[in-house]
Homo-oligomer: A and B are copies of this chain.
Amino acid sequence: MVEPVVGAAEEVPEEDVPGAPGTKIRWLLSPGVGAPNFSMRLFSIAPGGRIPEHSHDWEHEIYVLSGRGVITISGRRHEVGPGTYVLIPPNLPHGYEQVGPEELRFLCLIPNRGAGGR
């Protein structure tokens, strides 16, 4: 029997994202806390930070909470800000850049098989 989970995102410890300058991740919901199918992570990218382009065989579903940035998918640049939602299909190269004075914060959800043992 899986128990409900109710938490405050700001109380979840931030972790560095290897290879991504200025970027932190909080794992909010994952298999380890009982999420049956998909995982919810909160990313923060500080001014000047970025996540270099990379690719994997699972999708991202993204919702931008605050700040501004550019998400590049298959070489095409998309300006994003609060309220932007994004589907990055599997196997497309994608990267993120923070833009402007404010930290870029977004939710990024993935199927559990991308959760790497969390």
- Chain A contacts to B: CB under 8 angstroms: 1-10, 28-29, 33-38, 40, 59, 61, 63, 65, 71, 73-74, 76, 78, 80, 83-90, 92, 107, 109, 111
Contact = CB atoms under 8 A, between A and B. Distances in A.
A63 B4 contact: no
Contact of A8 (B7, B74, B83): B83
B35 A38 contact: no
B28 A40 contact: no
A91 B38 CA distance: 17
Q: Name the residue in A6, A29, A107 with the highest tally of chain B Cβ atoms < 10 Å from its Cβ.
A: A6
Nearest to A37: B111
A36 B7 contact: no
Nearest to A9: B83
Contacts of A33: 87
A105 to B, nearest CB: 10
A35 B60 CA distance: 9
Given A28-B85, A29-B61, A89-B34, A73 B4 contact: yes
A63 B62 CA distance: 12
Given A61-B29, A63-B107, A109-B109, A86 B37 contact: no
